[in-house]
Structure 1
Amino acid sequence: MATSNDIKNGTVIKDSGQLWSVVEFQHVKPGKGGAFVRTKQKNIVSGKIIDKTYNAGAKIETATVDRRDFQYLYKDGADFVFMDLSDYDQLTVPAVVVGDGENYMLENLNVQIGMHEGEPLYIELPASVILEVTYTEPGLQGDRSTGGTKPAKVETGYEIQVPLFLETGTKVKIDTRTGDYLGRVND
């Protein structure tokens, strides 16, 4: 059992049956009264952020979250199958855990999966991925990169906004955190 004095950024705390990762912490010693630890915590599953304060020396329950490298293999119904790159075991991850990551995942994509007691908690994708545009309206003569945008469907089925000059078959770089178009990729 740890105490509030052991809290650091990245510490995973088990509270009310849920796992919270410490994003920020501050040890405070006011002139009057007892010391305390002020934290900002992010729920590992839902992403919700809360502020929580602990008295100095208060007992807290920490949890171990193991981050391991996996490779995405295929979609099996509503679930996703990944291969552990260290021992080649396969892991089936429910769609709820994958979330919006599905929009950016092609077969053989390397990801990190956070695991707690053998259960997958979250999937961490690379910061950006390269996908091919499978359909977009044709660009018109005179369309420039500083102009507007148009919708384009990429090979995962996800729709993004791209500059007017892009055509079907173009490979684009996409930010996996925001879903924004980052640029064109030349082969």
Structure 2
Amino acid sequence: MMATTNDLKNGMVLNLDGQLWAVQWFQHHKPGKGGAVMRTKLKSVMTGKVVDRTFNADVKVDIAQVDKRDMHYLFHDGNGYVFMDSATYDQVTIADDVVGEAKDYLLDNGEAMVAVNDGQPLYIELPVSVELAVEYTEPGLQGDRSSGGTKPARLETGKEIQVPLFITAGEKVKVDTRDGSYLGRVSG
């Protein structure tokens, strides 16, 4: 699908020279002399590399059709991560490198948004936060609730994060999937 650089939006995926790039940021810029330009920050869908690129305004760009589907993570089968489409119940295996760091937050039957282009899974979008059980952490010291210190904790997915000293093994915690930060204790 063709569009112009004036139609750019954050999250849009462009096909530039056979590679897919997600628009992370853009700004229309009119210098004192010459024509207007569109400054962009683009992230490679395949490698995650971020580049700055400037286009002349009104230049035609190829917008990739990206189909985002709600899926449930089922299991890892040795070849990749197996997901099931929530609408069609079709199963798809997604390579380890496509799943990337999202694996640190995936639980069996956990929900994820899978972006697909021409049948090829591109990347996985997780909810902003997930609830995971603490598998192991050193016991906290009694009365050490107010110091604001942290300690490492291994989550049920194997991911290690920093948690407050009062968190104990077996508790569920809320974790930010964007940076792995502790957001709070899950009660109940």
Q: CA deviation at 1:145?
A: 4.2
Amino acid corresponding to residue 34 of structure 2 in structure 1: G
Question: What is the distance in 1 between the residues matched to 2:137 and 2:87?
Answer: 40
Partner of 2:123: 122
Equivalent residue for 1:32?
A: 33
- 1:144 corresponds to which residue? 145
* SS state at 1:169 partner: coil
Q: CA deviation at 1:34?
A: 2.5
The offset of 1:31, in angstroms, is 4.6
* Aligned-partner SS, 1:88: coil
- Aligned-pair identity in percent equals 59
SS in 2 for 1:99: helix
2:63 aligns with 62
Instruction: Report if the CA contact (8 A) 1:68-1:84 is conserved.
Output: yes
Mean CA deviation greater in 91-100 or 151-160: 151-160
Query: 1:48 Cα shift?
Result: 2.4
SS in structure 2 opposite 1:97?
helix
Structure 1 residue aligned with 2:45: 44
Write the letter of the residue equivalent to 1:91.
V
| Residues 81 and 90, structure 1, Cα contact 8 Å, conserved in 2 | yes
Moved more, 33-42 or 131-140: 33-42
The aligned runs of 1:146-185 (5 Å cut-off) are 146-185=147-186
The unaligned stretches of length 5 or more in structure 2 are none
Q: TM-score, with normalisation over the residues of structure 1?
A: 0.91
- Provide the aligned C-alpha RMSD in A: 1.7
Q: 1:139 to 1:122 in 2, by over 3 A?
A: same
**Paired residues, what number?**
187
- Deviation per CA, 1:37-81, whole angstroms, max 9, x where unpaired? 222222222332222122233332221111110000011114100
The 8 Å contact of residues 145 and 165 in structure 1, kept in 2 or not, is answered as no
Distance 1:35 1:152 in 2: 51
How high is the TM-score relative to the length of structure 2?
Answer: 0.90
Taking the aligned partners of 2:133 and 2:87, their CA distance within structure 1 comes to 30
Alignment-derived partner of residue 103 in structure 2: 102
1:26 CA displacement? 3.0
2: CA distance, partners of 1:134 / 1:44: 32
Q: Report SS of the residue matched to 2:103.
A: helix
